[in-house]
Structure 1
Amino acid sequence: MKVKNWMSRDVVTISPEATLQDAIGLMKKHSIRHIPVVEDGELVGWVSEGDIRGAYLASLIEDIRVRDVMIKEPITISPEADLEEAAEVLYRHGIGGIPVVEGRQVVGVVTVTDIMAAFIQIMGILKESCRLDVILGGKPKAFEHVSQIIRRHGGEIISVGISGPEDKSKRVYFLRLTKCDVRSIAQEVERAGYKVVSVIE
């Protein structure tokens, strides 16, 4: 998955010479929390709601310019980068969004909300479904065996998440399934020697 497939393309930008009041107005109007700062068609900075809050002085706000509070060398990402890379950048730096650029030209913005939307779609969370969380124990062909049990009960695996330690025998597999009798599946999975952690209907 590429950043270009999930980024927001209708980018609202602001001049470094604009006031903080201008930036606040744009954020409220467009329901956004980050704005690329652009001059002569090129990215020169990045201003966020947090940057504005940190500089907010009610009596002087009209005198403060975006250039005074913006991040002058913001982290950027290419539209051709993998979405996983964008997620890692946001997580590592504890930020809510980054500009997407080609050269110095802003072509989009990708935010935590965009990453979450991609995750929800990939995992099939909004589809009518159920979930089986199971420890397979690192047994040979365990996943294939459990998949067969699921299919016998009329279910299909929509997505798989894996969490847990490096020790494969202790990893939890989060299996999102099409709507089916997941409790009957869980019972047969346990009879087959696997540990069911939870069932969500």
Structure 2
Amino acid sequence: MKTVAQILRDKQNRDVHTIGPHATVLEALQVLAEKNVGALPVVEDGQLVGVISERDYARKVVLRGRSSVGTPVRSIMSAPVVTVGPQHSIRACMALMTDRHLRHLPVVENGHLVGLLSIGDLVKEAIAEQDALIGQLQQYIRGE
């Protein structure tokens, strides 16, 4: 099974878009829409301090009748952040995301944010690994 480092290396889009904790929720929503992503790591002074997602917006702004214009990201971001390192396996990440009900998982190495995995990234990789194994088994059965 591949590691997080291998998945990040193979990703077509390796850009990690971030936002600061003092930005407004509206600014975060604009970045989410512009970059077509579902979550943004929140970084302050080079350190990962939270994650803001569409889920945070729906639950902590919309359902509470708050304004996205005047609400700072810091007040609705998810923190503390659950992270993984480049050496973690897909299986470990999927288990962590399932257990903690996460859709996005920041990757941190030596205290620095180096990537962001989505549940879609992991599912895509798990399917590819299963397809490869099925192909190998079919070849074995056919005696190839």
1:18, 1:93 → 2: CA distance? 26
Of 70, 79, 82, the match for 2:86:
79
1:59, 1:122 → 2: CA distance? 44
Of 151, 162, 165, the match for 2:142:
151
User: Match of 2:50, SS?
Assistant: strand
The count of aligned residue pairs is 134
The TM-score, its normalising length taken from structure 2, stands at 0.82
Q: What is the one-letter code of the residue matched to 2:107?
A: V
Which residue of structure 1 aligns with residue 96 of structure 2? 89
Of 10, 13, 24, the match for 2:15:
10
Point out the structure with the larger strand share. Answer: 1
2:27, 2:40 → 1: CA distance? 11
Unaligned runs of 5+ in 2: none
Aligned pairs (5 A) from 1:89-128: 89-124=96-131
Report the CA distance between 1:102 and its aligned residue. 1.4
RMSD: 2.3
Unaligned runs of 5+ in 1: 133-146, 157-201
The TM-score, its normalising length taken from structure 1, stands at 0.60
Point out the structure with the larger helix share. Answer: 2
Percent of paired sites with the same residue: 28
Does the CA contact (< 8 Å) of 2:90 and 2:126 recur in 1? no
Deviation string 1:131-187 (CA, Å, 9 cap, x unpaired) is: 99xxxxxxxxxxxxxx5xx325xxx6xxxxxxxxxxxxxxxxxxxxxxxxxxxxxxx
Report the CA distance between 1:6 and its aligned residue. 1.2
1:85, 1:123 → 2: CA distance? 16
Report which of the two structures shows the higher radius of gyration computed on alpha carbons.
1
1:45 aligns with 2:50: yes
Does the CA contact (< 8 Å) of 2:47 and 2:112 recur in 1? yes
Report the CA distance between 1:99 and its aligned residue. 0.5
Structure number with the bigger relative contact order (C-alpha 8 A, sep ≥ 6) is 2
